[in-house]
Chains A and B, each alone.
Chain A
Amino acid sequence: MTSEHPCQCAQVSEEELYPRLEEMIEQHKGKPTELIMALHKAQNLFGYLPKKAQEIISERLNVPISTVCGVISFYSFFSTVPKGRHSIKVCLGTACYVRGGQQTLEKVEKELNTKVGGTTDDRRFSVDVVRCIGACGLAPAMLVDNDVYGRVKSTKIMEILNKYE
């Protein structure tokens, strides 16, 4: 199934991306203070931060691996879980929360059998929470990739998600 997929990340295997990682972090070699920059690059490359990438960054930048993991686990932007082909971001900003964002989220979690921060087993969706996407007038709002959905009712959710393969 992955081989048929149009997205580039699925065409190139993770192993094949490591030489590119090495190139990308070359300029940060031996510079522990540039850890976050290197992690950003790696996450953009892989879609998440695989263990092996963390070890390479630790080695090249001369930062202990425990510190690398500490930084990754501190910043919510970084993920150690592979991302799905499509990202779902349920808004839990004040307006969306008041108008039922939490129920939207629970429905998504239940239907996809995963939790916030998680990815479905078939790597189709990753589920995250965001705090306000500036669509308060449409609350409760949800993003799938770059598409904004407003006034999301829990009964409508599967209909939306079915559009994404």
Chain B
Amino acid sequence: MNTIRLSINGQVVEVEKGSTILDAAKKANIHIPTLCYLPEVQAIGACRVCLVEIEGIGNLQAACVHPAIEGMKVHTNTEKVRKARRFSVEMILSNHPMECLTCARNLNCELQKVAQELGVNEIRFAGEKSKGIIDESSPSIRRDNNKCILCRRCVTVCEAIQSVSALSLQGRGFETQVMPAFENGLGEVACTNCGQCSLVCPVGAITEKDDTQAVWDALSDPTKFVIIQDAPAVRAALGEEFGYPPGTLVTGKMLAAARKLGFDRVFDTNFAADLTIIEEGSELLKRVKEGGKLPLITSCSPGWIKFIEHFYPELLPHLSTCKSPHQMLGALCKTYFAKKEGINPKDMVVVSVMPCTAKKFECTRPEMTDSGYKDVDYVLTTREFAKMIKEAGIDFRNLEDGTYDNPMGEYTGAATIFGATGGVMEAALRTAYELATGKTLEDIDFVQVRGLNGIKEATIPVEGIGDVKVAVAHGLGNARKLMERIKSGEAGYHFIEIMACPGGCVGGGGQPIPVDARIRTLRAQALYSEDKSLKYRKSHENPSIKKIYEEFLKEPLGEKSHKLLHTKYTPRNRY
């Protein structure tokens, strides 16, 4: 027998061997509050909020770690349990700053929620509070350790999922703080800015660096021509901030909201995603034909870029030289579009709405100024964009669907799937196949590279070239495994796609909170369904892309492309 029967509150539950009491309770639809527990990532029983009573065991036990045992009788709703859970939360609150009204996580805070659920209605313990640092050294992430409840979720996600380990617990007892090594700030260490820590933080201790005010200032300045662009994954998640279920595609409302906010032009990063495919696809074919460095590795994910710069600088020549799509679009706004419209690029402000915190850092890189100006001025996360829509009093749910502007708005299905793991690979294969063979690709759904498996591999026969071996990894821990395979020489890949965040951009560090495997899957499905619904599904068929090559860029990997759309990388050390 591989199942166990136990009773919870008198209700008999049957669960698989190896389940915890918390798993069993979930199966029985009995709610047990949690705080430090995070499915798929961490179960350590540290916060003592999930305490339950087990008959025959004197002390209360943490449901998230205690195994379910045959015949066990568990009680989740006794006076002893209620009191103990409330006490645990009161102890956490006794060392919490209570700035809830002005906190970025107000109304979306797990501590707030659990305190309310448990009926904490007074602060019984008022004493000395530990003093935490406020870390503003990173252009992507802000940390306020005064709000930290030491649940360690950020530490675990950074180490176990991302294999970066920028954060760890430092010090002991009352003085314990989550910090990088040597009390440095995140901006000073080997942090990839992926922002997964900000996604899993139950409170407001880790948030993105807020750039909304700078964008408001640009919008209120009559001398500025302000352009907005939205990444593919934003349209699959933004709705969640306005009460839509995960996986609701809100492309039309997103574009309409951008226009209502007062942006002068609403472009789409998807256009630049198509452009990326043309450039990167051409780069792949060139390297295959001319014996260049293989495997070629994608470069759209700035968290991944910073990771390889820190941890595998020797593999940098494998990276595609393509900038990430929004940086390409920024550079084109301030050159191609500025000239076309007769606008001085000096007066232009380009704002990117991204599912990503790492792009905040990316847009400050000194090499991202090929237009002669900062190619992208500000990056907002999906969360910040939602906040601006709310601040502006826009009734998002009742917006009429809007459209993007030309000449850099039109996009194909290949571009929209960029937001999910495997999407860039699939889009590239659709185009590279046709560029290489000159034949029409009939079955364009490369399902082998879709889904949430950590590392996906496929072999695609391409006439004239032979078998093309590809691999896809999402989450930096999986990326590390692939890099080790490249270093050991065991894998003969031609092309690799890497996205820093689990699930790809749909699970990006700047996306609405919470995110879990189910939500990542639903968001990805939304993108694949948009792909299916579009007239053009291959990047090279995008009429606006054809036009920009005719009018401006001339040819893929040409002189203009080289100057504006490609970049170089910086080896960095680990300490």
Q: Which residues of A contact B (CB under 8 A)?
A: 51, 54-55, 58-59, 64-70, 73-74
- A76 and chain B: residue at smallest CB distance: B172
Known interface pairs A51-B182, A64-B159, A66-B180; 14 further A-B residue pairs with C-beta atoms within 8 A, sorted by A's residue number: A54-B181, A55-B575, A64-B165, A64-B181, A65-B575, A66-B167, A66-B168, A66-B181, A66-B189, A67-B168, A69-B181, A73-B170, A73-B172, A74-B172
Shortest CB–CB separation between residue B46 and chain A, in angstroms? 15
The answer, among B167, B171, B181, B575, for a CB contact under 8 Å with A74, is B171
A68 to B165: give the CA distance in the assembly, Å.
11
- Chain A residue nearest to B170 (CB atoms) is A73
Q: Which residues of B have CB within 8 Å of A70?
A: 168-170
Rounded to whole angstroms, the CA-CA distance of A69 and B179 in the bound complex is 10
> In the complex, A55→B184 CA distance in Å?
14
Best-buried of A55, A68, A70 by chain B (most CB within 10 Å): A70
Please determine whether A73 and B575 come into contact, CB atoms closer than 8 angstroms.
no
Interface check B574, CB cutoff 8 A: yes
Q: Flag whether B166 is at the interface (Cβ < 8 A).
A: yes
- A55: chain B residues at CB < 8 Å are 575
Which residue of A has the minimal Cβ distance to B573? Answer: A55
Q: Determine the chain A residues whose CB is within 8 A of the CB of B574 once the complex forms.
A: 59, 65
The residue of chain A having its C-beta at the shortest distance from the C-beta of B172 within the complex is: A74
Interface string of B177-203 (1 = CB under 8 A from A): 001111000000100000000000000
- Inter-subunit contact A69/B170 (CB<8 Å): yes
Contact partner, B182, options A64, A67, A69, Cβ 8 Å: A69
Docked complex Cα distance between A55 and B172 (Å): 21
The smallest beta-carbon distance between A65 and chain B, in angstroms, is 4
Report the minimal beta-carbon distance from A54 to chain B, rounded to whole angstroms. 8
- Docked CA distance A102–B159 (Å): 42
> Which A residue's beta carbon lies closest to that of B190?
A65
Give complex CA distance A73, B179 in Å: 11
- Of A65, A66, A74, which is in contact with the most chain B CB atoms at under 10 Å from its CB? A66
Contact yes or no, A73 B165, CB < 8 A? no
How far does the Cβ of A76 sit from chain B's closest Cβ, in whole Å?
8
With both beta carbons as reference points, the residue of chain B lying nearest to A65 in the complex is identified as B181
Q: How far is the CA of A68 from the CA of B169 in the complex (A)?
A: 10
Number of A-B residue pairs with CB-CB distance less than 8 Å in the complex they form: 40
The A-contacting residues of B in range 10-26, CB under 8 angstroms, are: none
Contacts of A64 in B (CB 8 A): 159, 165, 168, 181
In the complex the two chains form, what is the Cα distance from A65 to B159 in whole Å? 11
Task: Kindly state the separation between the CA atoms of A21 and B572 in the bound complex, as whole angstroms.
Answer: 25
Provide the residues of chain A in CB contact with B166, threshold 8 Å.
66
Distance in angstroms between the alpha carbons of A68 and B168 in the assembled complex: 9
A34 to chain B, nearest CB (A): 18
**B168→A69 contact, CB < 8 A:** yes
The 3 A-B residue pairs with the shortest CB-CB distance, nearest first, are A64-B165, A66-B168, A70-B168
Bound Cα distance A126, B1 (Å): 63
- In the bound complex, residues from chain A placing their C-beta under 8 Å from that of B180 are 66
Residue in B166, B179, B575 with the greatest tally of chain A CB atoms within 10 Å: B575
- Who on chain A is nearest to B159 by CB? A64
Give Cα A70 to B166, complex, Å.
11
Please, which residues of chain A bring their CB within 8 A of the CB of B575?
55, 58, 65
B420 to chain A, nearest CB (A): 29
- Best-surrounded residue of A54, A58, A73, A74 (most CB of chain B within 10 A): A73
The smallest beta-carbon distance between B172 and chain A, in angstroms, is: 5
Contact B171 A68 (CB under 8 A): no
Within 8 Å CB of A54, what residues of B? Answer: 181
**A73 to B172 alpha-carbon distance, docked (Å):** 7
B residues within 8 A CB of A74?
Answer: 169, 171-172
A100 smallest CB distance to B (angstroms): 26
Report the nearest B residue to A59, measured CB to CB: B574
| Contacting pair B165 A67 (CB below 8 A) | yes
Residues of B within 8 A of A58 (CB): 575
Query: Which residues of chain B come closer than 8 Å to A65, judged between CB atoms?
Result: 165, 181-182, 574-575
Closest to A74 in B: B172
Q: Which residue of B lies closest to A64 (CB)?
A: B165
Q: Which chain B positions have C-beta within 8 A of A69?
A: 168, 170, 181-182
In the bound complex, how far is the Cα of B189 from the Cα of A73, in angstroms? 18
Q: Is the CB of B172 within 8 A of A68?
A: no
A55 to B190, CA, bound (A): 13
- The chain B residue with its CB closest to the CB of A72 is B170
Contact residues in A for B171 (Cβ distance below 8 Å) = 73-74
Cα-based distance from A69 to B171 in the complex (angstroms): 9
Residue of B nearest to A55 (CB): B575
Report Cα–Cα, A66/B189, bound state, in Å. 10
Return chain B residues, CB-CB under 8 Å to A73: 170-172
- How far is the CB of A123 from the nearest CB of chain B, in Å? 21
User: How many Å lie between the Cα of A95 and that of B7 in the bound state?
Assistant: 54
B117 → chain A, closest Cβ, in Å? Answer: 32
How distant is the Cα of A55 from the Cα of B574 in the complex, in angstroms?
9
Bound Cα distance A73, B169 (Å): 9
- On chain B, the residues within 8 Å of A51 by CB distance are 182
B160 → chain A, closest Cβ, in Å?
Answer: 11
Q: Considering the chains assembled together, what is the distance between the CA atoms of A51 and B184 in angstroms?
A: 13
A70 to B182 Cα, complex, angstroms: 9
The answer to whether A66 and B172 touch across the interface, beta carbons within 8 angstroms, is: no
Contacts of B167 in A (CB 8 A): 66
Q: How far is the CB of B283 from chain A (nearest CB, A)?
A: 34
Nearest residue (CB) in B for A67 is B168
Cβ–Cβ < 8 Å partners of A67 in chain B: 159, 165, 168
Q: Which residue of B lies closest to A69 (CB)?
A: B181
User: Could you tell me the distance in whole angstroms from the C-beta of B197 to the nearest C-beta in chain A?
Assistant: 12
CB distance from B448 to the nearest CB of A (A): 33
Closest CB-CB distance, A128 to chain B, in whole Å? 16
A70 to B172, CA, bound (A): 9
A153 to B90 Cα, complex, angstroms: 45
Report B271 CB to chain A, min CB distance, Å.
Answer: 40
C-alpha spacing A50/B167, complex, angstroms: 20
* Minimum C-beta distance from B99 to chain A (A): 27
Give the CA-CA distance A69 to B180 in the complex, in Å. Answer: 8
Q: How far is the CB of A136 from chain B (nearest CB, A)?
A: 26
- Bound CA span A58–B165, Å: 12
B320: min CB distance to chain A, Å: 28
In the assembly, what is the distance between CA of A51 and CA of B181, in Å? 10
Contacts of A68 in B (CB 8 A): 181
How distant is the Cα of A59 from the Cα of B574 in the complex, in angstroms? 10
Q: Can you give 21 contacting A-B residue pairs, CB < 8 Å?
A: A51-B182, A55-B575, A58-B575, A59-B574, A64-B181, A65-B181, A65-B574, A66-B165, A66-B166, A66-B179, A66-B180, A66-B181, A66-B189, A67-B168, A69-B168, A69-B181, A73-B170, A73-B171, A73-B172, A74-B171, A74-B172
